[in-house]
């Protein structure tokens, strides 16, 4: 890429080299834009070429099976997270219609549907999409391009999704177009300036290259809001993410450590990150609430 995918500036510098520990073991370069501060994976695989990089058995958000302790804990945390997410979207003053982009197997939407919400989902993964369709009894779209057919929504959510979208500009344009006026966009993304990111450096699981094409901080989200005429109304911590990201990072950094030691260290590190974020406001992952002006 010769230009920053967010602000189109040609001024960017090499930031860090990161290995894809989860799948390919390949190394990728990340660049940092000097204008909007966005960090982006560059070069990056094309939309077609990236598919094999998603091919790993432990892609939890798409599975319903509890095979290991980690995935069991993850599913328990997810249940709590769904309730918390529901409380949050319900507190927003919106028409009760929602589009969840990257809805996975549709658990969050199913919860909302039971509360009387009009729900719609987008999920690129075939297996997850079919499960979501079955659960929700609606057609779940494969990609963002089909959005126009789905009408307008009071809330659009992207939980750990925006960093995966190849055409950032086109994607955001579609999303904003599909939002009712005064509607809300909820964006959850990892923050590479968090304490756990700094602690693990190139081993930080939040980089997740090449699947994560963009790596945000507060400044780049603020830039995005301004560029797309959105108002940043609130920022919420995602307190579980620091533990999960620390667990993965710990495995990447010390693959030969015992399970007990890995868990102990990552619990301590996750806690430490949240403590630091209590003062700085920079959590491992943050949820940004943006409103259409």
Decide if residue 143 touches Zn ion (CB under 5 A).
no
**Residues pairing with 215 in the sheet:** 39
Q: Confirm or reject binding of residue 95 to Zn ion (CB under 5 A).
A: no
Cβ burial, residue 150 (10 Å; 0-12/13-18/19+): middle
| # residues contacting Zn ion (CB under 5 A) | 8
Query: For residues 150 and 218, which CB has a smaller minimum distance to Zn ion in the complex?
Result: 218
Could you tell me where the DSSP H helices lie in the chain?
Answer: 69-91, 107-114, 126-136, 168-177, 195-200, 218-227, 241-253, 259-280
Q: Which is nearer to Zn ion, 40 or 244 (CB)?
A: 40
Question: Minimum Å distance from CB 38 to Zn ion?
Answer: 5
- In the list 6, 128, 147, 277, the residue contacting Zn ion (rule: CB under 5 A) is 6
Residue 78 region by backbone torsions, left for phi larger than 0, else alpha for psi between -120 and 50, else beta: alpha
Question: Using CB under 5 A, which of the segments 7-15, 87-95, 113-121, 192-200 binds Zn ion?
Answer: 7-15
Instruction: Give the full edge-to-edge strand order of the sheet including 97-101.
Output: 118-122, 97-101, 153-159, 179-190, 285-292, 230-237
Buried-exposed string 263-286: b where 16+ CB fall within 10 A, e elsewhere: bebbeebbeebbebbeeeebbbbb
Contacting Zn ion within 26-55 (CB under 5 A): 33, 35-36, 38
Q: Which is nearer to Zn ion, 85 or 192 (CB)?
A: 192
Contact 285, 81 (CB under 8 A): no
Number of other CB atoms surrounding residue 229 within 10 Å = 10
The minimum distance between CB 215 and Zn ion, in angstroms, equals: 12
- Residue 230 three-state SS: strand
Q: Within positions 117 to 136, which residues make up the interface with Zn ion, using CB under 5 A? A: none
| Other beta carbons less than 10 A from residue 232's beta carbon | 16
Closer residue to Zn ion, CB minimum distance, 11 or 264: 11
CB-nearer residue toward Zn ion: 4 or 136: 4
- Virtual CA dihedral for 151, 102, 217, 168, nearest 10 degrees? -60
Residue among 69 and 219 whose Cβ is closer to Zn ion: 219
The residue (of 36 and 289) whose beta carbon lies closer to Zn ion is 36
Give least dist CB 227 to Zn ion, A.
Answer: 10
CA dist list (Å): 285 to 44, 188, 190, 193, 196: 23, 7, 4, 10, 10
Q: How far is the CB of 130 from Zn ion (least distance, A)?
A: 37
Q: Are 105 and 82 in contact (CB under 8 A)?
A: no
4 near Zn ion, judged by CB under 5 A: yes
Q: Least distance in Å: CB of 4 to Zn ion?
A: 3
User: Cβ 245 to Zn ion, closest distance in Å?
Assistant: 24
Shortest reach from residue 43's CB to Zn ion, in Å: 17
Using rule CB under 5 A, residue 7 touches Zn ion = yes
Residue span binding Zn ion (CB under 5 A) among the ranges 4-12, 66-74, 123-131, 227-235: 4-12
Indicate the DSSP class of residue 61: G
CB of 221 to Zn ion, least distance (A): 12
Binding residues for Zn ion, rule: CB under 5 A, are: 4, 6-7, 9, 33, 35-36, 38
């Amino acid at each position: 890429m010769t230009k920053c995918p967010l602000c189109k500036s040609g001024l960017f510098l090499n930031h860090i080299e990161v290995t894809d520990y989860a799948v390919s073991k390949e190394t990728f370069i990340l660049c940092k834009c000097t204008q909007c501060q966005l960090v982006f994976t560059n070069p990056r695989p094309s939309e077609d070429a990236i598919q094999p990089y998603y091919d790993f058995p432990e892609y939890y958000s798409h599975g319903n099976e509890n095979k290991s302790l980690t995935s069991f804990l993850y599913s328990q945390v997810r249940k709590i997270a769904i309730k918390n997410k529901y409380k949050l979207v319900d507190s927003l003053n919106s028409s009760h219609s929602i589009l969840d982009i990257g809805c996975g197997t549709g658990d969050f939407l199913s919860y909302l549907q039971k509360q009387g919400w009009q729900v719609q989902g987008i999920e690129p993964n075939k297996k997850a999409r079919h499960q979501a369709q079955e659960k929700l009894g609606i057609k779940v779209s494969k990609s963002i391009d089909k959005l126009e057919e789905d009408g307008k929504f009071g809330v659009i959510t992207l939980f750990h999704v925006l960093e995966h979208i190849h055409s950032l500009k086109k994607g955001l344009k579609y999303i904003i177009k599909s939002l009712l006026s005064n509607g809300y966009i909820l964006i959850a993304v990892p923050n590479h300036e968090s304490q756990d990111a700094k602690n693990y450096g190139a081993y930080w699981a939040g980089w997740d290259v090449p699947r994560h094409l963009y790596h945000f901080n507060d400044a780049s989200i603020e830039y995005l809001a301004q560029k797309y005429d959105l108002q940043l109304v609130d920022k919420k911590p995602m307190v579980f993410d620091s533990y999960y990201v620390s667990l993965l990072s710990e495995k990447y950094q010390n693959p030969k450590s015992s399970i007990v030691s890995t868990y102990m260290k990552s619990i301590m590190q996750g806690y430490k990150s949240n403590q630091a974020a209590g003062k700085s406001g920079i959590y491992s992952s943050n949820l940004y609430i943006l409103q259409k002006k």
